[in-house]
Amino acid sequence: MFNLFKSLVPQTPDVRQQLFAWQGEAIVEQAIASNGLGRVRFQGTYWPAQCIEPMDVAPGAIVEVIGRDNLTLIVKAVKKLITQLPEPS
C-alpha cells in the first residue's frame, strides 16, 4: 500500500525535484525583520519565512519563495513596477 505512489510515479531526480519544488509567490502576513523571521501565506498555508536580503519586508508585500530550510521558507523581495494608464480625455 505504501508503495502505490512509488509505483505510479517514476522516481527520477527530475520528478522528485518537481514534486518537492518550493517556489512561487507568497504574501507577507507578519513583517519579516532584517536577518530575522516573519510569516508568509504560501499555497494556502501560513509558513515561517526568512528573507535572504538584509532588509525589512512589510505585511502585504509580495515575496518570491526560492527554497526552504526545514519548515522555514527562504524568500526574496519582489519588486513589481505598477504603471497607471493615463485617463482618457
Backbone angles phi, psi at 10, to 5 degrees: -60, 135
pLDDT band of residue 82 (cuts 50, 70, 90) is very low
**Looking at residues 23-43, what average pLDDT do you find?**
91
Quote the pTM value. 0.66
pLDDT at 41: 96
Report which residue type is found at 57. V
pLDDT at 2 over 50: no
Could you give the count of Cα atoms lying within 13 Å of 76 in the half-sphere of its Cβ?
Answer: 7
From residue 52, alpha-carbon distances to 9, 22, 76 in Å are 33, 15, 6
- In this structure, CATH architecture of domain 22-77: Beta Barrel (2.40)
Q: Domain boundaries in the chain?
A: 22-77
State mean pLDDT over 13-42.
80
